[in-house]
Structure 1
Amino acid sequence: MELTGNIYGINGPIVYLKGNLGFKMSEMVLVGKQKLIGEVISLTKDTTTIQVFEETTGLKPGEEVISTGSAISVTLAPGIIGNIFDGIERPLKEVAKQSGAFISRGINVSSLDTQKLWDVHITVNIGDYIYGGTIIAEVPETSAIIHKSMVPPNVEGTVTKVASDGSYTINDPIVTITDNEGNEKVLTLTQKWPIRIPRPITKRYSSDRPLITGQRIIDTLFPIAKGGTAAIPGGFGTGKTMAQHQLAKWSDADIIVYIGCGERGNEMTEVLEDFSKLVDPKSGNLLLDRTTLIANTSNMPVAAREASIYTGITLAEYYRDMGYHVAIMADSTSRWAEALRELSGRLEEMPAEEGFPAYLASRLSAFYERAGFMRNLNGTEGSVSIIGAVSPQGGDFSEPVTQNTKRFVRCFWALDKSLAYARHFPAIQWLTSYSEYISDLGPWYSNNVGTDFVDCRNQLLSILTEESKLNEIVKLIGSDVLPDDQKLTLEIAKVIRLGFVQQNAYHPSDTYVPMEKQLKMMRVILYLYTKAKQLLALNMPMSLIREDAVFDKVISIKYDVANDELEKFDDYIKQIDEFYERFIKTNG
């Protein structure tokens, strides 16, 4: 039975109904004459409270609110990949056809195209017993992704009818089953799932393989595991969005879900235009063929912004259930937290630090905990990795969103303003960043890259840390008074910073670097360090050693050695040996 009520009070996006009308928590409702989409967020015996996902201007007390009987859900079917949605899965291209550049209130569009015909291959037969997660059909959704339509998690039974392979819409019946109680149920390519409830799994695995990104400072120094969580905090202009672009383009995830949560409209437009033109380096097709975008700009209603990251993670979990590895780029969780703060203020809840609600930490943890490397209900394995950008005001990492995010992520890539202003990108500050995955991933590196990979990585970080300590002394008394071994540390640290940590996103050989090349670069740098130390042990002066061109040659390896020319690294080892011999002969 359809439940109805009348608006008693309105406070921005919050609407109150008087009395207990039988509505349920988290139920989706239609508000007012324009049937604005809303969600029940609080129930008492006297009041029903609803948050509205659209602009409430013009809404009046007395207007009717109608229940739908179901929770806020996303439609899951072919057509998600390559599409651009708002925070509650309304396709922006279809919205634009009906209402132009801005979303009209109460606009009613299907989340996915219900008229398009898809080439469907049925994968079950009459008599098969199928259950939640069983793949019943395969559809080539894009040139890069085969969409595997599954039985909804709470459905099971014996197949009694099967459609033949052919062209179908997402709502056409393709399989009919009879459940254990003798009831018939028709299955289509479509299922719905509430956004606030994680999709079920069979098992969660520990993190034992990295998400390869091709970015040296990430893959080598601060890696993220497949199914892992990472935060990229940074002030304005430090390169958060660019870093996420690089990760979306080059990471070895099968599918990218990009959530633009509360970002500026012009920045989001740039993202949408860039993604529509970017070519996937792996397949040569458009990157959009394995990407879905959720655009929720800062001028859109705050309640929809709050819902957008749940919409994104639910879409990601759906593709994980098919056996894909999915990476989510959430840009930015600070804007999402600000939406929580505004809604909490409207609800007159007791504020915590800096006005954020007391449940900020639990909401952040619930979001990041939906990441993981899983065994799905159908026996396949898939993962959801979450990379969340954080935009602390003034670059202050002590504010609540950054601090609470640090509690729930295992990878922290702190962007530094001074590095960004010095044009050092990615502007990840190696002294304040960390990854807790390095010990878990050690065996993978040993087996797949090189047994000395982690040791080389630790030596590089140790040199960079030592440089930081020495710079404090240099600031006070200058570098001339340092002993030669410490001067060498500063020189090698410069080689590491310019030749390894810094990376050019626009250079064909440097924008993406395979793991094998990263290891060879580390070996060359450390070999140069070893040989220079041997020269110092023979009382060669550092003032002469540092003048040799070999230091600049090692810095330029990243440009001079292409990714398919790794044999050239032997030449660099020879050049370092020649540098060593040259000094012995000249000064011996």
Structure 2
Amino acid sequence: MSTGVIKKVAGPLVTATGMQDANMFDVVRVSEQRLIGEIIEIHGDEASIQVYEETSGLGPGEPVESMGVPLSVELGPGLISNIYDGIERPLEEIRKLTGNNLKRGVEVPSLDREKEWKFTAAVAAGDEVEAGDVLGTVEETVVVTQKIMVPPKIKGIVKEIREGCYKVDDVIAVIGTEQGDKELAMMQKWPVRVGRPYQKKLAPNKPLVTGQRVIDTFFPIAAGGVAAVPGPFGSGKTVIQHQLAKWAEADIVVYIGCGERGNEMTDVLNEFPELIDPRTGESLMKRTVLIANTSDMPVAAREASIYTGITIAEYFRDMGYSVALMADSTSRWAEALREMSGRLEEMPGEEGYPAYLGSRLAQFYERAGDVISLGKDNREGALTVIGAVSPPGGDISEPVSQATLRIVKVFWSLDADLAAERHFPAVNWLKSYSLYLDDMEKWFNESVKQDWMKCRQEMMALLQDESELDEIVKMVGIDALSPADRLKMETSRSIREDFLHQNSFHETDTYSSLKKQYMLMKLILGYYKEAVDALEQGAELNPIISLPVREDVGRFKYVPEEGMESEYNKIKDEIHDQALKLLRKEEL
């Protein structure tokens, strides 16, 4: 271990001398209080250290000790349902030790060393194993079974395997390798800045179904894909991420509150244990890991929090699970990067952000993917990353938004005007996009209905036409439009209000299955087709617009899943019948 002394303290940045034997990204303990930090720059025997705790009271001459290992997380049973800070310290355990106000220099293991877990072996003595092979399983919660895997770079013969109840650091297997016997516990450590290895990355060709109509139908994200949610204050970024955490078809959720307001994080901590997972009937927390690094916590730990979160997510991905990671928000993380860069006196880039902002963002987002994990059984796991971006004043031309957009393939543009109109989710359908659409067209057409993508394109065309017609209306009034164009405007209003608007607090409308989304699309387009036919056969526009069945179409989204089939058929027939009566001038 390398030891030195403090030379200078500048907020969370500490400069120490006598550190010539230390390495970049080594974890260090600073002063007698043993504050935890990480080396981020070395010049000769001088090391610049970002300290993950409050540095007030530190001064020159105090000792600094390098631990000789990079910042790493502990991976094993006990992660699920836990709440960590940005460097994987369990906040509940720290609270038991120190009370509600976190004290400095507290050393608490990330995984409980006293709790025993029941380990069930999946291999026997004499079996040959390699990196990624499953040694056995532990039922972590009623929802999640954790697979205990052979760590990377280990290959050999199982000499001993133990079954029963053990602590995370007890030896449960002995592997005979070319370098000698290796004792393995249920827990392994992994450096957070290094992506976990896998066999190969697959093409993203199936969606992560979220139950949110504007996302699944218009701008879907692939399982293993990356998405950005930029939007100004109050536009609903956090609510969208909460909805995805609750409803997305992911086995595991990792939620990183990176520099967010404390009250928002409190909402998450209070809400998630009470939410019932619709697929399992259990609390959502039983498949969730929370990382809470609020805006009043030390800024340097914010920089580490997204790496901590994505390493934990990769660990579950390696088991063959589908993992959804929410980072809220990467703008706060970039601000921490900017602050540390300024204290290091690096040459600033655009708006003061460091020149390496884009590459750091890419390093984070590129760790997402649909992969074949290590191991002989070729498990497929997916890690989907959804990052919120909080551009100042909602201006997405700022560096963090632009650097993010160059990396991600899905862009859900949140609109302050839509939020002001109480249209939620406030995703602007004209500015948003998904580059996964072509890859997933085959999946949607085969798994839902053959004309899914055709219906989506028809609805998108109507919305784009409405935007152009709206400009004419603003200039010369709606009377200047032809009946056909006014019908387009009216149908587009139905798409906006009945399809795109979704009430996250309504017990039925909060989640919409793909089948239900398809039915609602067909009802709206079915009305439009019948209305166009009636118009061409001489019907008046106002009676067409005022057909009573339109209210039934609007209410279809509130119909429970079990009754939607019969209601759909009833409304579809009603659309046709009312259009015929209109042409025959019969009373509706």
TM-score, reference length from structure 2: 0.98
Structure 2 residue corresponding to 1:362, chosen from 335, 359, 367? 359
Deviation at 1:539, TM superposition (A): 2.3
Aligned to 1:260: 257
Structure 1 residue corresponding to 2:168, chosen from 170, 173, 180? 170
Distance 1:556 1:490 in 2: 20
Letter in 1 for 2:338: R
Work out whether residues 230 and 413 of structure 1, in 8 Å CA contact, stay in contact via their aligned partners in 2: yes
SS of the counterpart of 1:105? Answer: coil
Work out whether residues 265 and 297 of structure 1, in 8 Å CA contact, stay in contact via their aligned partners in 2: yes
Matches within 5 A, 1:118-517: 118-163=117-162, 165-181=163-179, 183-378=180-375, 379-517=378-516
SS of the counterpart of 2:211? Answer: coil
Work out whether residues 29 and 66 of structure 2, in 8 Å CA contact, stay in contact via their aligned partners in 1: yes
Letter in 2 for 1:549: P
Deviation at 1:565, TM superposition (A): 2.6
- Runs (5+) with no aligned partner, structure 2: none
Work out whether residues 4 and 21 of structure 1, in 8 Å CA contact, stay in contact via their aligned partners in 2: no
Work out whether residues 132 and 155 of structure 1, in 8 Å CA contact, stay in contact via their aligned partners in 2: yes
SS of the counterpart of 1:313? Answer: helix
Q: Deviations over 1:504-549 (max 9, x none)?
A: 1122221111111111111111111111001111122212321222
Aligned to 2:519: 520
Letter in 2 for 1:405: T
Distance 1:451 1:424 in 2: 30
Q: How many pairs align? A: 585
Aligned to 1:558: 557
Q: Deviations over 1:318-351 (max 9, x none)?
A: 0000000000010000100000010011011111
Letter in 2 for 1:180: E
SS of the counterpart of 1:556? Answer: helix
SS of the counterpart of 1:272? Answer: helix
Matches within 5 A, 1:526-545: 526-545=525-544
Q: Deviations over 1:239-293 (max 9, x none)?
A: 1111111101111000000000000111111111111211111111000000000
Distance 1:73 1:154 in 2: 17
Q: Deviations over 1:399-433 (max 9, x none)?
A: 11111111111000011111111111111110100
Distance 1:561 1:42 in 2: 58
Work out whether residues 410 and 437 of structure 1, in 8 Å CA contact, stay in contact via their aligned partners in 2: yes
SS of the counterpart of 2:480? Answer: coil
Letter in 1 for 2:24: M
Range that drifts further, 265-274 or 335-344: 265-274
Aligned to 2:25: 26
Q: Deviations over 1:140-192 (max 9, x none)?
A: 000100000111112222111121x21111011110112113x1211010100
Distance 2:559 2:193 in 1: 50
Work out whether residues 236 and 419 of structure 2, in 8 Å CA contact, stay in contact via their aligned partners in 1: yes
Aligned to 1:71: 70
Work out whether residues 17 and 47 of structure 2, in 8 Å CA contact, stay in contact via their aligned partners in 1: yes
Letter in 1 for 2:359: S
Letter in 2 for 1:429: N
Distance 1:526 1:546 in 2: 14
Letter in 2 for 1:372: G
Distance 2:24 2:192 in 1: 14
Work out whether residues 514 and 563 of structure 1, in 8 Å CA contact, stay in contact via their aligned partners in 2: no
Distance 1:328 1:561 in 2: 29
Work out whether residues 230 and 409 of structure 1, in 8 Å CA contact, stay in contact via their aligned partners in 2: yes
Matches within 5 A, 1:25-64: 25-64=24-63
Work out whether residues 86 and 294 of structure 1, in 8 Å CA contact, stay in contact via their aligned partners in 2: yes
Work out whether residues 16 and 47 of structure 1, in 8 Å CA contact, stay in contact via their aligned partners in 2: yes
Q: Deviations over 1:346-402 (max 9, x none)?
A: 011111111111111111111100000000002211010000011111111111111
Distance 1:452 1:350 in 2: 54
Letter in 2 for 1:259: I
Distance 1:563 1:51 in 2: 55
- Runs (5+) with no aligned partner, structure 1: none
Letter in 2 for 1:205: L
Aligned to 1:95: 94
Deviation at 1:479, TM superposition (A): 0.5
Distance 1:268 1:105 in 2: 21
SS of the counterpart of 2:315? Answer: helix
Aligned to 1:548: 547
SS of the counterpart of 1:553? Answer: helix
Distance 1:280 1:564 in 2: 21
Work out whether residues 540 and 587 of structure 1, in 8 Å CA contact, stay in contact via their aligned partners in 2: no
Distance 1:467 1:507 in 2: 28
Could you say what the CA RMSD is over the residues aligned between the two structures, in angstroms? 1.2
Letter in 2 for 1:376: S
SS of the counterpart of 2:406? Answer: helix
Q: Deviations over 1:84-105 (max 9, x none)?
A: 0000000000010111222211
Letter in 2 for 1:324: Y
Work out whether residues 130 and 158 of structure 1, in 8 Å CA contact, stay in contact via their aligned partners in 2: yes
Query: Alpha carbons of 1:148 and 1:584: their partners in 2 closer, same or farther (altered >3 Å)?
Result: same
Give me the identity figure in percent.
Answer: 50
Deviation at 1:44, TM superposition (A): 1.8
Q: Deviations over 1:206-242 (max 9, x none)?
A: 0011000011000000000000000111111111111
Query: Alpha carbons of 1:46 and 1:5: their partners in 2 closer, same or farther (altered >3 Å)?
Result: closer
SS of the counterpart of 1:565? Answer: helix
Aligned to 1:84: 83
Q: Deviations over 1:485-517 (max 9, x none)?
A: 000000000110111110111222211111111
Query: Alpha carbons of 1:483 and 1:196: their partners in 2 closer, same or farther (altered >3 Å)?
Result: same
Distance 1:315 1:151 in 2: 16
Letter in 2 for 1:217: V
Distance 1:566 1:119 in 2: 45
Deviation at 1:561, TM superposition (A): 5.4
Distance 2:343 2:195 in 1: 27
Distance 1:67 1:508 in 2: 53
Distance 1:474 1:187 in 2: 71
Distance 2:257 2:482 in 1: 51
